[in-house]
Structure 1
């Protein structure tokens, strides 16, 4: 199976074609949130996007290719939000600490982590999507190869963002950036999984509370 995932349109690709791809990815995520990756069919996705099967196959060779493109887009969007928060740290810190020029203290880390988490969109469906995509990647080497490339790129960018965030608040880590990013990502995902398993109508709120507590404890131990 041949799979490509690049989001950027080719030079000959029109803005209309790119818009069609975006609508198909939006529809795919909606369908996934209702039935899951494996039950989501090309027909369901095309119908939700108000397109034909022909429109689907003129943009994606397979359903797997679409889901990988969706994963790449989602990773990029979430990393962009984090990057933007770090770039505006000089504005965020005074708001959090209540005074211009105030230095971040360990007891204020929770407020900073919360402000970062609040920038993210609904994460429970995204985590479920990623979990199912991982299973698919383990079963299909063609999917797995591209999934690992995406994962490595996302972790590298996340490591850069975390390093910039620590520098911005005058901290450093005992771990190298990639190790720290891996630890934080693993902690975040396991905590979100726990919140989803608890169920209830406020998964996002519960997840953020759990994540904030665990991440603050980790950062306090690993950063200085």
Structure 2
């Protein structure tokens, strides 16, 4: 059982890591991951460079922790929303509306986080030593997205007409498009998303 002193150290350490994560999000959104330095992140968080390396082995390690945290938050929120959907046979229009609600919850919480998600893709494309680690995370992300999709169709009593991985790829592309549009316009057009999802879901979903 942890002693009181150990518990206090653990709390302080997590507080330090949280401040570093928030500072990194701001720096990466403003300047990009390549341009954002460990020194700048540390200074913005109010720590020394040594404090950064006491908590993270590298900037890449911090990037991946940020990415996992954002995805876990989005997926958890979406699964909670799916659990509140009425578990009964519903019309396709209703399914599309509910799917649009879930997609809205999968959007990043704010512009800073959305910019970070865009930046980390560019960083992976430009940084060969980071590419493989990012691709491994992408596989984890697709698995998490598949969990959301599986929970959604189970909840409304439907099934996928195509392999789940293919459906996830198609819907993931739609999600990506709407994040990009939101970044450029500052607006999330839920009605446009519903119009796009209706024919797509009509092709992808079948009765059990």
1:191 corresponds to 2:165: no
Matched residue SS, 2:47: coil
Higher mean displacement: 178-187 or 39-48: 39-48
- Aligned-residue offset at 1:123: 5.4
Aligned pair count reads: 197
CA deviation profile, 1:94-114 (whole Å, cap 9, x unmatched)? xxxxxxx76321121343124
Q: Who is 1:82 aligned against?
A: 78
TM-score computed with the length of structure 1 as normaliser: 0.77
Structure-2 change in CA distance of 1:23 and 1:135 (3 Å)? same
- Aligned-residue offset at 1:39: 2.7
TM-score computed with the length of structure 2 as normaliser: 0.82
1:219 corresponds to 2:201: yes
1:27–1:48: 8 Å Cα contact kept in structure 2?
Answer: yes
**Distance in 2 of aligned mates of 1:210 and 1:43:** 43
- Aligned-residue offset at 1:170: 1.3
- Aligned-residue offset at 1:186: 0.9
2:124–2:134: 8 Å Cα contact kept in structure 1?
Answer: yes
1:155–1:181: 8 Å Cα contact kept in structure 2?
Answer: yes
Q: Who is 1:167 aligned against?
A: 154
Show structure 2 runs of 5+ residues with no match: 1-8
- Aligned-residue offset at 1:57: 1.4
Show structure 1 runs of 5+ residues with no match: 1-12, 94-100
